[in-house]
Amino acid sequence: MAVSAAVAVLGTLIGLYVSLWAKNFPRTVAALAAPPTGGANLTLETVAAVGKKLSPQHPEWVSYLVKSNGRWIRSTVFKVPAYSVVHVTLYQFDTPTGLRNPFLSQVQGTVGGTATLDGKAFRSIEPEEASHTFAVPELGVFVPLAGVPEEAKNQCEEGPCELTSAHRTITFSFRTGARGRYRWQCFVPCAAGWLLGNGGPMQTLGYMDGFIDVV
């Protein structure tokens, strides 16, 4: 009887894992066409706490959001065209956590090998200033995102954040290649309260990592 009970409990747990977590996939958001270049525009933001509206289960989790039809959506699955240039504008509302690996504080794999931070071109930042990274390892794209200073006034407490709150603006472009699904992720251990900062939102699709569907 004890064995049957244990098997039943385990079966229920596996069922819950599949139904509540493994099948939980954010909806895909298409990047907007950028007609003169034949590419696409992707507008993202990072928030220190995603908020109840966008994540009732985990309102305090750190997250990326994407702009779709004028609204901020919690999704990390983006659709972009193949063999084109994707122009990314990223509003960063979170404060620094710092990178463990300084190699990732360099801009790599973008068009021209650079990005802009608040309107100024840059090729690297101080590793401890990083709040998040936008990285697509299979495409060689790594962009470190400098955080809002800890002492900044008017910080956004929970997402979705608007541009009236303290933020940094990062822009960069990268080229896509063949069709396929490419993983992207943050490499800053930004999951506060988790072991080594790498649990929770760093491991759950829809917060600090996702996919780029090149179609």
Q: Tell me which residue has tokens 């007609």.
A: 35
Q: Tell me which residue has tokens 């079966």.
A: 11
Q: Is 208 in the site for Cu ion (CB under 5 A)?
A: yes
**Which member of 77, 99, 104, 190 binds Cu ion (CB under 5 A)?**
190
Q: How many residues bind Cu ion (CB under 5 A)?
A: 5
Residue 200 identity (one-letter amino acid): G
Helix H or strand E encompassing 14: helix 2-16
**Chain centre to alpha carbon of residue 180:** 19
Quick one: which of 176, 84, 92 has its CA closest to 136?
A: 176
**Which member of 80, 156, 186, 214 binds Cu ion (CB under 5 A)?**
186
Quote the least distance from Cβ 76 to Cu ion, whole Å: 11
Whichever of 92 and 176 has its CB closer to Cu ion, that residue is: 92
CB 207 within 8 A of CB 201: yes
**Which member of 141, 188, 212, 214 binds Cu ion (CB under 5 A)?**
188
Residue nearest to Cu ion (CB): 186
Whichever of 76 and 173 has its CB closer to Cu ion, that residue is: 76
Choices 25-33, 69-77, 155-163, 207-215; region in contact with Cu ion by CB under 5 A? 207-215
Taking the alpha carbons at both ends of the chain, their separation in whole angstroms is 53
Choices 17-25, 85-93, 106-114, 178-186; region in contact with Cu ion by CB under 5 A? 178-186
Whichever of 135 and 186 has its CB closer to Cu ion, that residue is: 186
CB 95 within 8 A of CB 179: no
**Chain centre to alpha carbon of residue 212:** 11
Quote the least distance from Cβ 35 to Cu ion, whole Å: 32
Residue 195 identity (one-letter amino acid): L
What is the pattern of x (binds Cu ion, CB under 5 A) and - over residues 18-57? ----------------------------------------
Q: Which residues contact 41 (CB under 8 A, 6 or more apart)?
A: 31, 32, 33, 34, 86, 87, 88, 89
What residues between 81 and 140 interact with Cu ion by CB under 5 A?
132
Residues at the interface with Cu ion (CB under 5 A): 132, 186, 188, 190, 208
